[in-house]
A and B are shown apart, each in its own frame.
Chain A
Amino acid sequence: MPDAEIEEGEAKLFERNQALYKSLDERYIVHGQRYKGQQYSQIYFARLHCMRNLLRPLVSKWKPHLPVTTILGLEEAKECTIVGTIYKHMKLKPSILDEYSKERSTVPLVKPHNFVHTDDHLILEDEIGRVKLRGSLLLPSDFVTGIGVALHGKKTIEGDFLVQDLLEAGFSPQVELSAAGNDKYVVFISGLSIGSNNFNPLQFQLFVDYVTGHLGSDNEQKIASNIVRVVIAGNSVVIPESLLNGQTLSAKDQSKISEPIKELDILLMQLAASLPLDIMPGPKDPANSFLPQQPLHRCLFPGTSAYNTFFSCTNPHQFELDDFLFLGTSGQNIDDLDKYSNAKSKLEFMERTLRWRHLAPTAPNTLSCYPFTDRDPFFIESCPHVYFVGNQDKFETHLLQGPEKQLVRLVCIPRFCDSGIAVMLNLRDLDCYTLSFTADLKG
């Protein structure tokens, strides 16, 4: 749907640029949600199976002289390699049983930012057995439960496994791009939090006007016309939790729930009228909490859903835009890693998930996820060109180069309601800028 802007004085016409879009969300869709008693073991099993298939050829190249054994087949002091899933035993990990069994009302649930403790240790588990890992090579604070790895080492007298070397799955292969094209921009935004006190309608309106080309000089409009897509990465609305406890509500409270959604619908309508728009659910949106979060229901957007430029997507969200592969989440996977492991920056967490070839290793252990039985949808099969994460504290970006010349643009999208920042990415060279909007009249 090309859209043209007419400048007041000079009748200069910019035509909105377009890009070929292909949604790859199918793998994240859960069909026919019906609980049939499945447990989480299947998803781990599927994950390990995937990892084993992937690591088997790698291991034989990595340590060709060593035998590959299972954990039960370990023999004392004999060097070998094993493949399995890491389990991190954590001292501070909160247990739901404590919450329920102890006086649950009296003890306020202290939620520290991070549960890492120096006494944490790693365990490797394969289909049948478990073994405690030792050695200074693996730092427990770097790892989390759920990662598939291959290890080289030997069993000690105590029955532990002394790790001598580690092999991770590494970056997935990447589709090579054809020669660089023209300027085409994708805009990322997250954490609008409509309905919260931080949300400033004017600020967002400025954003809408800019993107749709109603603001700025020719030059700016020219840039705006090259925006081919807007992606909203979660937490678009905030609904007061106190209203959602199952009680019957008064008419006034009823509107408190629907008001922010209506407002969102109106704002999105303006965007959708002008250019393609993806909206992903986030942890605070009216969506389920299991990952992958299913698309926000169309009934929430009676106005916007009339446009065929409007795409309600899953979280995680994966799509192709002119051969560029995009992969992103609304932030849960990275936030959870941040709780259960340590890194210098959020970007490092993102890099790790690529290296582990798994988008959300902590699911289902600490991140709730749908109990899949046949597959693990979070497995990263091919390396994306752009990997974005929403609802972060600050904007961060890095162009990552993989061992096989993979190029990945990592983007942390800050919360818009706090920062007023949206992120603009140029497909031509994968460059990344921020768009900062402020509606603070005093400043």
Chain B
Amino acid sequence: MDEDVFLEENLLKYEEDEESLRLLEDEARLSKWKRPALSPSYLSYSPNILFQQLEIDYVIGESSKELLPNNSGSAAILRIFGVTKEGHSVCCHVHGFEPYFYISCPAGIGPDDISRFHQTLEGRMRESNKSSNVPRFVKRVEIVQKKSIMYYQQHEAHPFLKIVVALPTMVSSCRGILERGLNVEGLGSKNFLTYESNILFALRFMIDCNIVGGNWIEVPAGKYTKTTKSMSYCQMEFNCVYSDLVSHVPDGEYSKMAPFRILSFDIECAGRKGLFPEPIHDPVIQIANLVTSQGDDQPFIRNVMTLKSCSTIVGVDVMSFDSEKDILLAWRDFIREIDPDIIIGYNICKFDLPYLIERAEALKIAGFPILGRVRNSRVRVRDTTFSSRQYGIRESKEVAIEGRVQFDLLQAMQRDYKLSSYSLNSVSAHFLGEQKEDVHHSIISDLQNGNSETRRRLAVYCLKDAYLPQRLLDKLMFIYNYVEMARVTGVPISFLLARGQSIKVLSQLLRKAKQKNLVIPNIKGQGSGQETFEGATVLEARTGFYEKPIATLDFASLYPSIMMAYNLCYCTLLTPENARQFNLPTESISKSPSGDTFVKPELQKAYAWLNLLLNLPGCSNFQSSYIQGILPEILEELLAARKRAKADLKEAKDPFERAVLDGRQLALKISANSVYGFTGATIGQLPCLEISSSVTSYGRQMIEHTKKIVEEKFTTLAGYDHNAEVIYGDTDSVMVQFGVPTVEAAMKLGREAAEYISGTFRKFIKFCFNPSNLSLRRDMLDCIGRIPKSLTKWIQKARIGGIETVRRDNCLLVKNLVNECLCKILEDRDVSGAVQYVKDTIADLLMNRVDLSLLVITKGLTKTGDDYAVKAAHVELAERMRKRDAATAPNVGDRVPYVIVKAAKGAKAYERSEDPIYVLQNNIPIDSQYYLENQLQKPLLRIFEPILKNAQQELFTGKHTRNLKSSTPSNSGIMKFAKKQLSCLGCKAVISDADRTLCLHCKGREAELYCKIVSNVAEMEVLFGRLWTQCQECQGSLHQDVLCTRHKSDLTFSSHLFPRLPDILSEEESAERHG
């Protein structure tokens, strides 16, 4: 046989085999990807469907003739996406819910007037929406009996007009017409105040159907019809009428979580040198995906899609493609096949998702952006800015993927945690105790252009990046906490990340108001946002060093308690004219210290009682009248629910159940605290400064009252051993020195005081005595004096262990130093030790022996340079860095790390900031004087002034400040002209011969000098060894070179020790000269 023929045949056969093998492989993949098949019972007959909903939106479509024979034309159809307990995906189309709002009814309106009003409104609507061809804009106008939430009113209910419109978008245009004024025949021209007209349609639906975010919904058998032509990729899809939905309260069986599918992904792009990847030019080369089922601790699908071949990775499905188009389409198919309910990742909203979509656009792949659950619906990218008082301005991109919740871990981190850096690396180091290797984008291209091995390395890195968000999600229990938050506040899960706090309170308020038959007016932009009111004041602290234990008395949730105790609410607020008009007895109203009046809860009770007694005919409405304001009632429910959740938590054993309950109690706490803020948000939904200023004024009064009572009661006259003294008080706590020497005695008195004081307040305000605080402040040095509040918290936390860095623009050196000093003074009672420690640190700083990482200051870049009125160090630096290398420069929203360097005399502070990496690379000297004066001095003096007589002199002058050393810049200024000469290692005298190490004078000290140098070398070597092995550990491989470039470039600084490497060299050099 001819050899060539044989070969060819064999090869062909082999190829065929491979082909069939691949097909088999694909099939195996698909079967793993698919959701569990539907049970035959669903397919054959239609049982009840119970599912947990995750996302609700609406579309405009033809209303279903089958379900609602009376309706016709286009209408809003709500879509509820969710998952059943078996893991089937559900899409439920809800029909028949109509958008509406209220206006106050003009006095004396009759049925005829209403139809006239209706027609006029319809006419005006048609005028302003000429282009649309809706048959009827305003569907109905009805008279309903409601009451406004604002101000105390004696009448029970007024007539209101409920205006029902055809489509949700018409609400706002209709509102506009009514607010601007409408001339109705017979009634005259009038500007109407609208009520509940700015509520999103989906939220309106949820409120009216009692659906809260993430709860279980049941559609009874026979009440739904399966869709004939499915619109979505969900396994179950059906139509029903809104009134047939059964919404379950998230309790017991219904507090569980369905097995959602969570997709965590990360992409890699091959950027060009020195430039940040742009979708127009740079290809997507890898996408790593991990899919986890909620409740499992391991992902059940791990795969990575790569451009060009890639070696296999254990436990990971590697899929290689030859063209970028194939990757993108494969990813789309993957998404469609596995059908994730939640998509997570790190910075996916701002980078990964928009990049993929824009890249597909650039490559003209029209079929790519169909990632949602709705067939043929393209994903759109929109720029959004989110601004909130609490979180500042954030630019972001909104990628609407219908039916799937996006959860960007970066956003969640920025919202929930205060960190000095939000890079994935530092976040995972902080929460998971794990560093990830950092591959610079310039290396990414090199790896991609290498062979299948180098691409494998990149894939491993990419997978790790995809896995970290999932691990963070698990570790921080985001799913539990956010779902519980959605359940408690009643908003959809997607609102929690995309919107501020106020929507949550508004949702609760609306739900409560609906029960009480109240309506909420639409008050827009009442203030300019600049109005303020007096905040919580703080008692003047008595600075000093206190040897004896100090007890801290805390109010338990003070602000919510005040609102409950004094019945502060929109509906109990009395306007001055109303007060005059109603002429209420003074004992039934309370005037807050800020001068606003509120009706006491007892008033209504009194009236009701009076009513019964006298049986007055005109007052009969009072019988059904409510007793409390709405806000107090919401708060009371929240706090009671929290108590319940905490009690359940104690009993619960199942870890999942515990997670849910813990998430719930946390959500309840946060919600209760945000109610106060809601009333004070002047550009919020329903601001009411009367309430918020009353709350703070009551708070101040209470602190003062407490102080008075404590100092009156605990006196030697009253039989106590010592006079108690209030040393300090802030928003919600008071610190008392009872004068007793032991901690136990102070604790006893503290408890007694707490009980006594609680007795003097109204029932809701409870003084709670927190024994843990006391032990913390044992033998407290009261350095709280003029230290900002942040620092007092900091001290407490520092005691408990680990610094909670409250002020992030301090460098680590200050934090460490202050903490250490407090430890020494408070715990070890070693003042002179603390002083020595400070001196040593200062000497180290001046001698340039402090690690650079300790000197880095970070500041958030919130706007671009032009937007800042004053030039700020970090902004200027960001600008300079952009000029050097646009790819690595910080962007808006990032935190900019910088150090202060020495500069020409008279240089402005903002000109002296410099990128730490740049400083290391160029040996730029640090301005140690700046750190001494601007960073260290103030906090140190605050601590030491009460203890030391001449703290300033003692600490900041003297011998230890006289030795200075700074690094010489390597390539700038006068150093360019310097000539290197050998000098004696002992005395720095210049020596002539190149081969000698010591001058004649020092020859006798040879052994000693050698010891010193060699010990430095040894120290460096240990450091070298430990650092490189640490790098290997992070990378997770022994046999391959460490790729991570952090030791050269990115510094989140916790790990930044590598500048020492050059030192090792020079030390070794001098050792060599010896040899």
**Interface residues in chain A, defined as those with a beta carbon under 8 Å from any beta carbon in chain B:** 33-35, 39-41, 44-45, 48, 71-74, 85, 87, 95-97, 100-106, 125-131, 145-146, 158-159, 239, 241, 244, 246, 254-255, 257-258, 261-262, 286-290, 297, 299-300, 302, 364-369, 371
With A128-B311, A262-B1007, A369-B1025 known to touch, is A289 a contact of B1018 (CB < 8 Å)? yes
* Given A72-B312, A288-B1017, A288-B1018, also A371-B1028 (CB < 8 A): yes
Q: Which of B311, B314, B816, B1039 contacts A41 (CB 8 A)?
A: B1039
Contact status B1074-A297, CB under 8 Å: yes
Task: Say whether B1008 contacts A257, CB under 8 Å.
Answer: yes
Which chain A residue lies CB-closest to B312? A72
Write out, one digit per residue, whether chain B residues 827-849 have a CB within 8 A of any chain A CB (1) or not (0): 00000000001000000000000
Report Cα–Cα, A295/B807, bound state, in Å: 51
Given contacts A128-B456, A131-B314, contact A96 B1007 (CB under 8 A): no
In the complex, chain A residues whose CB is within 8 Å of the CB of B989? none
Cβ–Cβ contact B1014 & A287, under 8 A: yes
Chain B nearest Cβ from A100, distance in angstroms = 6
Q: A40-B1028, A128-B456, A257-B1008 are in contact. Are A103 and B1015 (CB under 8 A)?
A: no
Q: Which residues of chain A have C-beta atoms less than 8 A from B1029's C-beta?
A: 40, 364-366
Contact residues in A for B314 (Cβ distance below 8 Å): 71-72, 74, 129-131, 159
Give A48 to B1036 CA distance when docked, in angstroms.
17
Residues of A within 8 A of B1074 (CB): 297, 299
Count of chain B residues near A, Cβ 8 A: 63
B1021 near A288: Cβ-Cβ < 8 Å: yes
A41 touches B1042 (CB 8 A): yes
* B1006-1049 contact mask (Cβ, 8 Å, vs A): 1 or 0: 11101110111111011111111111110011111110000000
**B980 CB–A CB distance under 8 Å:** no
Residue B949 lies at the interface, judged by CB distance under 8 Å to chain A: no
Shortest distance in angstroms between A286's beta carbon and chain B's nearest beta carbon? Answer: 4
Are the C-beta atoms of A244 and B1012 separated by less than 8 Å?
Answer: yes
Contacts of B719 in A (CB 8 A): none
CB distance from B936 to the nearest CB of A (A): 15
Contacts of B1061 in A (CB 8 A): 35
Q: Tell me, in angstroms, the Cα distance from A239 to B1011 when the chains sit together.
A: 9
Chain A min CB distance to B869 (Å):
35
Mask: chain B, 1039-1075; 1 = CB below 8 Å from A; 0 = not = 1111000000000001101000100110010011011
Indicate if B820 sits at the interface (CB-CB under 8 A): yes
Complex CA–CA separation, A102 to B820 (angstroms): 12
The answer to whether residues A125 and B1038 also contact, given A40-B1028, A100-B1055 and a CB cut-off of 8 A, is: yes
Interface residues of B (CB under 8 A from A): 311-315, 429, 435, 453, 456, 802-803, 815-816, 819-820, 823, 837, 851, 853, 1005-1008, 1010-1012, 1014-1019, 1021-1033, 1036-1042, 1054-1055, 1057, 1061, 1064-1065, 1068, 1071-1072, 1074-1075
Asked if A87 and B1041 make an inter-chain contact with CB atoms under 8 angstroms apart, the answer reads no
Q: Known contacts A258-B1008, A258-B1011; can you find 10 more A-B pairs with CB under 8 A? A: A39-B1041, A41-B1040, A95-B1033, A106-B823, A128-B456, A261-B1008, A262-B1007, A286-B1014, A288-B1014, A365-B1029
**Whole-angstrom distance from the CB of A233 to the nearest CB of chain B?**
18
Closest Cβ of chain B to A57, distance in Å, is 22
* Contact between A72 and B1018, CB atoms less than 8 A apart: no
Nearest Cβ in chain A — how far from B149, in angstroms? 51
15 A-B pairs (CB sep. < 8 Å): A39-B1031, A41-B1037, A45-B1039, A72-B312, A72-B313, A97-B1030, A146-B1038, A244-B1012, A246-B1012, A286-B1011, A286-B1014, A286-B1015, A289-B1018, A289-B1019, A364-B1029
The answer to whether A95 and B1032 have CB atoms under 8 Å apart is no
Q: Tell me, in angstroms, the Cα distance from A96 to B1033 when the chains sit together.
A: 11
> Chain A contacts of B453 at CB under 8 A?
128
Q: Which of B837, B853, B1007, B1071 has the most CB of A within 10 A?
A: B1007
* Chain B min CB distance to A104 (Å): 7
**A168 smallest CB distance to B (angstroms):** 18
Find chain B residues with CB under 8 A from A369 CB: 1025
User: How many whole Å from A39's CB to the nearest CB in chain B?
Assistant: 5
- A254 with B1008, Cβ < 8 A, contacts A41-B1042, A290-B1021 known: yes
**Interfacial chain A residues near B311, Cβ < 8 Å:** 72, 128
Q: Nearest 3 pairs between A and B by C-beta?
A: A368-B1025, A159-B315, A101-B1054
Chain A residues within 8 Å of B1065, by CB: 34-35
- Point out the residues of chain A lying under 8 angstroms from B1012, CB to CB: 244, 246, 257
CB <8 Å contact, A290 and B1025: yes
Within the complex, the shortest CB–CB distance from B820 to chain A, in Å, comes to 5
Residues of A within 8 A of B1031 (CB): 39
Nearest Cβ on chain A to B849's Cβ, whole angstroms: 8
B1005 engages A103 (CB within 8 Å)? no
Of listed B1015, B1018, B1037, B1039, residue having the most chain A CB within 10 A: B1039
How far is the CB of A260 from the nearest CB of chain B, in Å?
A: 10
Q: CB-nearest residue of chain A relative to B822?
A: A106
Contact in complex: B1042, A97 (CB < 8 Å): no
A227 to B1023 CA separation, bound complex (whole angstroms): 41
Complex Cα–Cα for A159 and B312 (A) = 13
From B1011, B1023, B1028, B1072, contact of A33 by CB (8 A): B1072
Q: Which residues of B contact A102 (CB under 8 A)?
A: 802
Which residues of B have CB within 8 Å of A257? 1007-1008, 1011-1012
Count chain A CB atoms within 10 A of each CB in B453, B820, B1025 and give the residue with the most: B1025
Tell me the complex Cα distance, A131–B316, Å: 12
B984 to chain A, nearest CB (A): 14
Return chain A residues, CB-CB under 8 Å to B1054: 97, 100-101
Query: Which of B803, B815, B1011 touches A244 (beta carbons < 8 Å)?
Result: B1011
Partner of B1010, one of A40, A45, A72, A286: A286
Contact B1039 A125 (CB under 8 A): yes
- Chain A residue nearest to B853 (CB atoms) is A100
Residues of chain B with a CB closer than 8 A to A73's CB: 312
Contacts of A101 in B (CB 8 A): 429, 1054-1055
Interface centre among B311, B429, B1018, B1072 (most CB of A within 10 A): B1018
Residue of B1015, B1023, B1071 with most partner-chain A CB within 10 A? B1015
CB distance from B1028 to the nearest CB of A (A): 5
Query: What is the CA–CA distance of A350 and B520 in the complex, to the nearest angstrom?
Result: 82
Query: For B313, what are the chain A residues with a Cβ–Cβ distance below 8 Å?
Result: 72, 129
User: How far, in angstroms, from A365 to B1023 measured CA to CA in the complex?
Assistant: 12
A104 to B1006 CA separation, bound complex (whole angstroms): 35
User: In the bound complex, do residue B851 and residue A100 qualify as a contact, i.e. CB atoms below 8 Å apart?
Assistant: yes
Q: Is the CB of A103 within 8 A of B1007?
A: no
**What CA separation (Å) do A101 and B1071 show in the bound complex?**
31
Interface centre among A40, A145, A367 (most CB of B within 10 A): A40
Is the Cβ of A87 less than 8 Å from the Cβ of B1014? no
Give chain B nearest CB distance to A127 CB in angstroms.
Answer: 5
* Residues of A with C-beta under 8 A to B1072: 33
Partner among A40, A125, A258 whose Cβ is within 8 Å of the Cβ of B1005 = A258
A71-B315 Cα distance, complex, nearest whole Å: 11
Residues of A within 8 A of B1075 (CB): 297
A358 CB to nearest chain B CB (Å): 14
| Residue pair A39, B1042 in contact (C-beta under 8 Å) | yes
Residues of B within 8 A of A96 (CB): 1023, 1026-1027, 1030, 1057
C-alpha gap A105/B823 in the complex (Å): 11
Interchain nearest-CB distance for A261 vs B (Å): 5
Of all chain B residues, the one with the shortest Cβ separation from A105 is B820
Which chain B residue shows the least CB distance to A84? B1039
Whether B1014 and A103, one on each chain, are in contact in the complex, defined by CB atoms closer than 8 angstroms, is: no
A299/B1010 in contact, CB under 8 A = yes
A71 to B316 CA separation, bound complex (whole angstroms): 13
Is A106 in contact with B819, judged by CB distance below 8 angstroms?
yes
The residues of B that contact A104 with a CB separation of less than 8 Å are: 816
The residues of B that contact A100 with a CB separation of less than 8 Å are 851, 853, 1054-1055, 1057
- When the two chains form their complex, are residues A105 and B816 in contact, meaning their CB atoms are under 8 A apart? yes
Bound CA span A71–B1074, Å = 48
The residues of B that contact A97 with a CB separation of less than 8 Å are 429, 435, 1030, 1054-1055
